[in-house]
Structure 1
Amino acid sequence: MLEIDFKEIITVSMVLFAVIDIVGSIPIIVNLRAKVGHIESEKASIVAGAIMIVFLFVGEGLLNLIGIDVHSFAVAGSFVLFFLALEMILGIRIYRDEEPGSASIVPLAFPLIAGAGTMTTLLSLRSQFHTINIITAIVLNIILVYIVLKSSKKIENLLGENGLGVVRKTFGVILLAIAVKLFAANVKGLFV
């Protein structure tokens, strides 16, 4: 019943890492810290992980309640990933949130870590991967998010502005390829 597959865990972890883009968010995190002082890394990480896991289970039921199948949601999710990838690669902002007022759970856990792109991605991944592998990937990403939040200043100093840009663009290209694969795998399901 539990089909733990390390290849799936690595694939899903890479997808979530690219979508969450916590390394690319370091400038936002640093800006928040400068405005409000302390960042609640533990709370933000735990709440973001809880939001993702709950949505992984409740999201599909919610879709069924409003009459949308997983294939349609996955195709829609592939478009969201496509535009997120374009933002990362081209350095443009298609969607812009209002500037958060404090570095509490609200701007960090949601929408910065567990935002709309992450939610869409989770349901899209559920149509292709085993749930236990997705949960494992979520936990691994939350651990990484916590580490990055705790040491964001050191990472910023280490990579520099150019290094952060290279990381962001690299994961943007990976995310773009994943969006194309997700679209191709689910578009057939729309016509069955």
Structure 2
Amino acid sequence: MGTFNFQEFLSAFIVLFAVIDIIGSIPIILDLKQKGRSVNAVKATGIAFALLLGFFYVGDGMLRLFQVDIASFAVAGAFVIFLMSLEMILDVEIFKNTGPIKEATLVPLVFPLLAGAGAFTTLLSLRAEYASLNIVLALIVNMVWVYIVLRLTDRIERLLGKGGIYVIRKFFGIILLAISARLFTANLTSLIEQFQAMK
């Protein structure tokens, strides 16, 4: 698990905050409610947390099963985070939800908004950089924040306004872009060193 490091915790929190992007999802949640599709805050937060935590611990074993190391996954994850940042910055839709499940709490709220491919990838990418304890604590605090936002969606939208939500989404899009660049360069260097050592 490692020891607690506030800087690692804060960095992991900011990365997960940007990837999960619950503030940016408020318009989607409001649209679901207007269409009569109920959203259960406790259920959504609980299931999302269980999925993310489970993948955080089991995902490494799954990678070993396919003979993929964390550094390689982190490089691949950097590309996913890069694409997510483009979505946020350029207002384009790259990841589309075309699944058959129509229940709002599970789809699209839990998957892919809260516990999607980007969040899964980010967790394992962070594991290549930080101690597990700091990442898990950052995930827990993020899930508490997600629950608060889900409970107070209407109030937050009135407080921030559509313009405020839009600006926040753009800001964290730029943060994600920078994070993807750092993840890519840091882990690509590691992969190159491993390749050279094999010669």
- TM-score when normalising by structure 1: 0.96
Larger radius of gyration: 2
The residue correspondences of 1:103-122 to structure 2 (distance < 5 A) are 103-122=104-123
| Cross-structure match for 2:61 | 61
| Structure 2: gaps spanning 5 or more residues | 195-199
Contact 1:40 1:105 in 2 (8 A): no
| Cross-structure match for 1:51 | 51
| Cross-structure match for 1:172 | 173
- What is the CA distance between 1:37 and its match in structure 2? 4.6
SS of the residue aligned with 1:173? helix
| Cross-structure match for 2:197 | none
Give me the identity figure in percent: 48
| Cross-structure match for 2:183 | 182
Q: Equivalents in 2 of 1:59, 1:86: separation in Å? A: 26
SS of the residue aligned with 2:35? helix
Aligned residue pairs: how many?
A: 192
SS of the residue aligned with 1:36? coil
RMSD value, Cα: 1.3
| Structure 1 runs of 4+ with >4 Å offset | none
Q: Equivalents in 1 of 2:33, 2:187: separation in Å? A: 41
- What is the CA distance between 1:38 and its match in structure 2? 2.8
- What is the CA distance between 1:36 and its match in structure 2? 2.6
- What is the CA distance between 1:154 and its match in structure 2? 1.0
Contact 2:97 2:108 in 1 (8 A): no
| Structure 1: gaps spanning 5 or more residues | none
Q: Which residue identity does 1:77 align to in structure 2?
A: G
* Deviation sequence 1:117-144 (CA, Å, 0-9, x none): 0000000000100001110000000000
Q: Equivalents in 2 of 1:86, 1:179: separation in Å? A: 11
| Cross-structure match for 2:161 | 160
Indicate whether 1:125 and 2:90 are aligned.
Answer: no
Indicate whether 1:71 and 2:64 are aligned.
Answer: no
Contact 2:74 2:124 in 1 (8 A): yes
- What is the CA distance between 1:172 and its match in structure 2? 0.4
Indicate whether 1:96 and 2:96 are aligned.
Answer: yes
* Deviation sequence 1:134-158 (CA, Å, 0-9, x none): 1000000000000111111111111
Q: Which residue identity does 1:24 align to in structure 2?
A: G
- TM-score when normalising by structure 2: 0.92
* Deviation sequence 1:30-80 (CA, Å, 0-9, x none): 111112353100010011111111101100110110111111100000011
Q: Equivalents in 2 of 1:45, 1:145: separation in Å? A: 7
| Cross-structure match for 1:136 | 137
* Deviation sequence 1:1-23 (CA, Å, 0-9, x none): 64001111110000000000110
Q: Using a 3 Å threshold, how does the CA distance of structure 1 residues 82 and 162 change in structure 2: closer, same or farther?
A: same
Contact 1:78 1:182 in 2 (8 A): yes
Which has the larger displacement, 144-153 or 1-10? 1-10
